[in-house]
Amino acid sequence: MEDAVAPSKGPDRIAFYTLRGLTRLCDGVGVALMAAILLLIVATVIARDLLVLGMPWTEEVASMLAIYAIGFGSLSAWVRSEHLVVDLFSHKLSGLGKNIQYRLTALISCGFFALAAWGSWIMSDMSANNKTVSLSISFSYLYYGVFFSFAGMALISVWQTLRGPVAWLEAPREEEVVKL
């Protein structure tokens, strides 16, 4: 999407800049969270092995940051269509077939994400008094991370269903992101 040319006018232009801004924001926050996780874990090792100082709370914080990093990364990956897909026949479809398949998969995805977001909201409400061991952080905050990610992907899927495929969103994939 970074290399794509913005549509010249209309709602597509607004959508383009909104989605590009969203991916940049998600990438930036996600990268910052990953860097924080890395530093936390390295600090733990140094403190424990060199200074003989235990920092057991770091595992808790690192796992929590990871949930948010995954949330931001998933949202950005959804905009960029970088989630894993087993492409059996879509490359053989005609223009109309591709359009229908795109909208159908976006619609099903939207339904799934909406249900998952709803479930996350319920869990965040139910877990308000359920707290982590070391720092007593409410589990609600963990579920908020999951909720924002699913709710964001549901909203984008709604837009994808209504708009259909657009060339400027189909950025070339990075090879490493296809499969492990």
Residues in contact with other proteins by the rule CB under 8 A: 27, 30-31, 34-35, 37-38, 41-42, 44-45, 49, 59, 62-64, 66-67, 69-74, 76-77, 80, 82-90, 101, 104-105, 108-109, 111-113, 115-116, 118-120, 122-123, 126, 139, 142-143, 146-147, 174-180
SS3 of 138, please? strand
User: What's the CA gap between 118 and 126, in Å, rounded?
Assistant: 12
Residue 69's Cα: distance from chain center in Å?
A: 8
Amino acid at 26: C
Rounded to the nearest whole angstrom, what is the least distance from the CB of residue 22 to other proteins in the complex?
14
Contact 122, 147 (CB under 8 A): no
Nearer to other proteins, 4 or 41 (CB): 41
Rounded to the nearest whole angstrom, what is the least distance from the CB of residue 16 to other proteins in the complex?
20
Q: Per the structure block, which two tokens stand in for 164?
A: 């259909």
Nearer to other proteins, 11 or 97 (CB): 97
User: What's the CA gap between 59 and 5, in Å, rounded?
Assistant: 43
User: What's the CA gap between 153 and 75, in Å, rounded?
Assistant: 6
Rounded to the nearest whole angstrom, what is the least distance from the CB of residue 9 to other proteins in the complex?
30
Rounded to the nearest whole angstrom, what is the least distance from the CB of residue 17 to other proteins in the complex?
20
Nearer to other proteins, 14 or 85 (CB): 85
